[in-house]
Amino acid sequence: MPQISVRGEEMPASPIRKLVPLSDKAKEKGITVYHLNIGQPDLPTPKVALDALHNIDRTVLEYSPSDGYRSYREKLTKYYASYNINVTADDIIITTGGSEAVLFAFLACLNPGDEIIVPEPAYANYMAFAISAGADIKAIPSTIEEGFALPSVDKFEALITEKTRGILICNPNNPTGYLYTRNEMNQIRDIVKKYDLYLFSDEVYREFIYTGSPYISACHLKGIEENVVLIDSVSKRYSECGIRIGALITKNKKLRASVMKFCQARLSPPLIGQLIAEASLDASQEYMRDIYDEYVERRKFLIDGLNRIPGVYSPIPMGAFYTVARLPVDNADTFCAWCLSDFSYEGQTVFMAPASGFYSSPELGRDEVRIAYVLKKEDLQKALFVLQKALEAYPGRTI
């Protein structure tokens, strides 16, 4: 039998995925599992988007342009302008989810052996896309004690080598919910400029910022316009994870030309997803406000509730719909598995994502979990109560 590729072996298997069979088994036993583990919003897709879906009157479901429909890209420019991001339709390449945008950015920008610096905990799949491109991620740990703020500039500079080609940030952050300050973004800008790096900036959660602090996009930073690659997706914004529509945006014309070659090879992004995404831009103010208000409430409810459980600590996330919390357990991987395999309280349990999957070093985040607040408040309330009971019962409790 021929061998698997080295990168095929190296690809990380997500610690969340490993728990899915345990969750399935718990459900088979009739246990209610509260899914705090995944960034799949439970909130409805906008009606205007579903209407567009039902009203598609094409008779041939044909290829769309490799960079996406121009009408959609034109309309997106107005959306971005509302965030003071000034781009033209030509600057925007529509991708199959934000995932493809990251992969194509890496393939087009990074040579095998090149390095990118990523503050961690970080979205686990960045690692997978880096491996796909043969590139190495050099992680800089941020800590729960400092609320997951940007590590200091000298820590970035200590990691910069001849092979360093870029910095990747996620802002607001998955998994921590952290929102980079103007000062932090300026620091990133200065490093990017000084070393002429790419700045890959994943900003798919910009709608979800809760503190009144300003949203500073990588696209707002002056003097590094040619270095910035914005990663975007409609998945979270409109509860449309399944339509697989994202975007790669850059003012760097040469880079766009290269990315387009990867886009042309895969022919086109999903046709129907684009029609839905374009319609979603007309989602009402009311829809967007309702969604926002819902997350604001859930966030307050969840974080208050977590910090009330003895031994649990969560910083207050400023954005997105996740938090990384510290639990009084020996090992969060073991605890999360135990919750699914060995524990239930009144027929209920919780499925959380062990934070180990978001760190590159096995030493880090061992007592942390990522919790997504994509459940309605009543369910969050039950989940919090179940979590408290689980911590009381867990044999590996540390305090």
Interface residue with a second copy, options 77, 181, 213, 258 (CB under 8 A): 258
Buried b (16+ CB within 10 A) or exposed e, 94-120: bbbbbbbbbbbbbbbbbeeebbbbbbb
Amino acid residing at 325? A
In angstroms, the CA 270 to CA 11 distance is 26
Binding mask 58-87 for a second copy (x = CB under 8 A): xxxxxxx-----------------------
CB of 321 to a second copy, least distance (A): 14
Please give the residues from 177 up to 206 whose contact with a second copy meets the rule CB under 8 A: 196-198
Count of residues that interact with a second copy, criterion CB under 8 A: 81
For a second copy, the closer of residues 165 and 299 by Cβ is 165
Return d(Cα 71, Cα 90) in angstroms, integer: 11
How many residues are recorded in the chain?
Answer: 399
Per-position x/- string for 32-61, each x denoting binding to a second copy as judged by CB under 8 A, each - no binding: ------x-xxxxxx---xx--xx-x-xxxx
Residue of the chain from 28, 29, 78, 112 that contacts a second copy (CB under 8 A): 112
Q: How far is the CB of 71 from a second copy (least distance, A)?
A: 15
Our CA angle for 114, 360, 326, nearest 5°, is: 150
Instruction: Kindly indicate which of the ranges 75-83, 121-129, 204-212, 307-315 contains the residues binding a second copy, using the contact rule CB under 8 A.
Output: 121-129
Contact with a second copy (CB under 8 A) among 31, 153, 159, 272: 272
Of the residues 25, 182, 266, 308, which one makes contact with a second copy according to CB under 8 A = 266
Who contacts 332 (Cβ-Cβ below 8 Å, separation ≥6)? 352, 354, 355, 356, 365, 366, 367, 368, 369
For residues 205-244, which are near a second copy according to CB under 8 A? 226-227, 239-244
Contact 252, 192 (CB under 8 A): no
Residue 12 found at the interface with a second copy (CB under 8 A): yes
Nearby residues of 29 by Cβ (< 8 Å), 6 or more positions away: 344
